[in-house]
Chain A
Amino acid sequence: MKRIVIFILVVLVTLGIAGYTTPSLVNNIKLGLDLKGGFEILYVAEPIEAGKQVTQDALKETARSLEKRADSLGVAEPEVTTEGTNRIRVRLADVKNEEEVRKSMKEPAELTFRGPDGTKEMIGSDFVEGAAKVGFDQSNRAQINIKVKDAEKFKKVTEKLVGKPLAIYLDERQLSAPIVQSVLSDGNATISGNYTYEEAKELADTINLGALPLKLTEKYTQVVGASLGQLSLHQTVEAGLIGAILILIFMVAFYRLPGLVAAFTLITYIWLLLGAFWLMKATLTLPGIAAFVLGIGMAVDANIITYERIKEEIRSGKSLLSSLKSGSKHSFRTIMDANITNLISAAVLYYVGNGAIRGFALTTIMSIILSILTNVFFSRLLIHLLIRSNKFNKPSLYGVKEAEIRGL
């Protein structure tokens, strides 16, 4: 009697928590661009001057400037990442002025040094590439050492602007406005101010980038209209729900009482997987939903292997409890071997693949681990409670006909 109460309590509490938290989980999962609309562009960066190399610093700096540009154009949460040695991936959702944004993103970063009246006194290519470095003055404050190509030109500029600011701009954004302290004739200068090391480093990187701006070429673009994205989301989630419900019905129809337990542990599994997505801040894409739905089918496998084994044991004439015990024991090794090989292939995919394939592999890895937890351990615990309660002793409840049972 006690066991059946525990069983009911476990089921009710789990369903309660799952039912209560699922709506907010679902609402908080980050959706990919293909589901909420927006655009994704993969750029390949090359130096505008031929024969130069793209450095990792320059690439990162370009990415940073793209992010700031998108920001200034009113795009919320732009996602800009660097890939490999010369690629930048930009993901922007909810863009109203798509054309303007795309045009502006493609333009190379323009570094200018401007006088107080706004005239461009120096431009990026006036500086020696990679020469901007962070140094420290006597009182250990960060400063930036720079070097120009044409010392004569720089001398004239500093002559004109002594005591006045020479502001540094990237595109139309002012980064800093140091005052020219004296005439500099050897082509070397230091920019000092109350910079933290990070600020100084960023400014030095920006100047280096300005000295060697990268040209961006669109290699791949995907533009999804917001309502088409929602339609895809709606249709695919609906397809997934129909699939999940059919699978639950199949399990109950085929395996009866244990099938009911499987249906319940599957719901728990789906809930946990949603939770894992939320915890890991993973982005759900259309193929991701597909992997999720197919994963449900795969997760049931653990239950099916166990139940078939238990059925076999019952048929061989063992008692329910010993059938459960030896069935669980025998099937466990099968399930582990099958899942570990699957895990190996998913791990390889994760390691070798990138972008979409990586997301797919990660979903698979998470679903395998969660599936073992819910559909092996949790499921076994629940069936144990049911059988030990002595309320459900008929073999037909386990999908076995009396006639099939062999006498010992």
Chain B
Amino acid sequence: MDYRNHFDFIKNRNKFFGISAALLLIGLIVLVAFGLNYGVDFKAGTSLDINAGQTVTREQVDKTFDSLGLKPAVVSISGNNDHISARYDTILSEADVKKISEGMKTAFGDKVSQEVNTVSPDIARELGVKAMIAVAIASVAICIYVSIRFEWRFAIAAIIAILHDAFIVIAVFAICRFEVNLPFVAAVLTTIGYSINDKIVIFDRVRENLRFTRLKTSEDLSNMLSNSIWQTMARNINTVVVVLIAALCLFIFGSESIKLFALAKIIGLTSGAYSSICIASPLYYLLKNKSLSSKTRAAAVKE
């Protein structure tokens, strides 16, 4: 098929580089200035998830906490107004937790059920560090595999795009001040796995097209890449739609504690699909074009 009248992602690369760079820069600034909004997993403290078994109002909940003399740092009501999340910046004693649980039962009846999390932050930090090590090792391993099966330029372009996706998730969470807990780490880690899939599919097509195309000019390269992108477009869109359906369902219908995880996945999936087309492929163009122009120069010298 002829894709000449389709949008050219390679020629418009600077726009995409600009958008991504801007988003990453804002994310970085927010990250440096305010850090992430760490949840209980990363901060010493206690968090309570209480299901009241009936609809409650903000007023009722505040009154209950007040009467117990245990005012949480943050309280939110979600679900069908029957789910109370409370966070304390100090670690509550077991006696206090019991007091809350009994106070809630007095206020909202016996159907009250709760989840209590207490943590010392070093365990979560340790996991965060481990996650970063995992990302680093996985990146190197993927790089080696892609270099063997494809070529090093694909590996470099893919890795940059994948790290871009992982960082976009972190940046969006930092900018929107969403709470960061352990499942968030898992979401970022799995974003990498999904994102690499996407890049491989496009690069595989590029590899195939490379065998049938003689590249002489940057124009040839750009056209070939643009064609490869459009040839795999249906697959890329359909796959991301399918995985997004799953993630959106988890986000909309899933339980409270899985919602933020699903949201992180949604951001990561979207970014993964975007970066495969708009970041990884143009990056490959830049890398390949260099060798192309040096070859042309070499040929010119010979003549």
Contacts and interface: CB of A to CB of B under 8 A. Distances in A.
Contacts, number: 217
A79 interface: no
A220 interface: yes
Question: For chain B, what secondary structure do more than half of its interface residues adopt (helix, strand, loop), or is it mixed?
Answer: helix
Contacts of B185: 357
A94 interface: no
B245 A352 contact: no
A125 interface: no
Residue among B1, B146, B257, B261 facing the most chain A CB atoms (10 A cut-off): B257
B6 to A, nearest CB: 16
A186 interface: no
Contact of B238 (A224, A235, A304, A354): A304
B208 A330 contact: yes
Residue among B242, B252, B256 facing the most chain A CB atoms (10 A cut-off): B242
Interface string B11-51: 00000000000000000000000000000000000000101
B193 A304 contact: no
Interface stretch (B61-69, B113-121, B213-221, B280-288): B113-121
Contacts of A232: 255-258
B51 A298 contact: no
A353 interface: yes
Interface string A344-357: 11101101111111
A179 interface: no
A228 interface: yes
Interface string B142-166: 1001100100000000000000000
B210 interface: no
Given A344-B145, A364-B193, A305 B119 contact: no
A291 B246 CA distance: 10
Contact of B255 (A236, A305, A333): A236
Given A286-B258, A290-B261, A345-B141, A296 B94 contact: no
B229 to A, nearest CB: 14
Contacts of B87: none
A138 interface: no
A231 interface: yes
A260 to B, nearest CB: 16
A42 B126 CA distance: 14
A275 B245 CA distance: 24
A346 B119 CA distance: 27
Of the four ranges (under 10, 10 to 19, 20 to 34, 35 or more), the interface on chain B belongs to 35 or more
A220 B119 contact: yes
B249 A243 contact: yes
A243 B115 contact: no
Interface in B231-284: 231-232, 234-235, 238-239, 241-250, 252-258, 261-262, 265
A173 interface: no
Given A239-B258, A294-B246, 14 more contacts: A42-B123, A221-B118, A223-B97, A223-B116, A227-B113, A231-B255, A239-B250, A246-B249, A250-B245, A308-B232, A330-B208, A334-B204, A344-B142, A360-B186
Interface of A: 34, 42, 99, 102, 218-229, 231-233, 235-236, 238-240, 242-244, 246-247, 250-251, 254, 286-287, 289-291, 293-294, 296-298, 300-301, 304-305, 308, 311-312, 315, 330, 333-334, 337-342, 344-346, 348-349, 351-357, 360, 364
Q: Which 8 A-B pairs have the closest CB atoms?
A: A297-B243, A243-B249, A239-B253, A225-B113, A232-B255, A352-B134, A297-B246, A227-B113
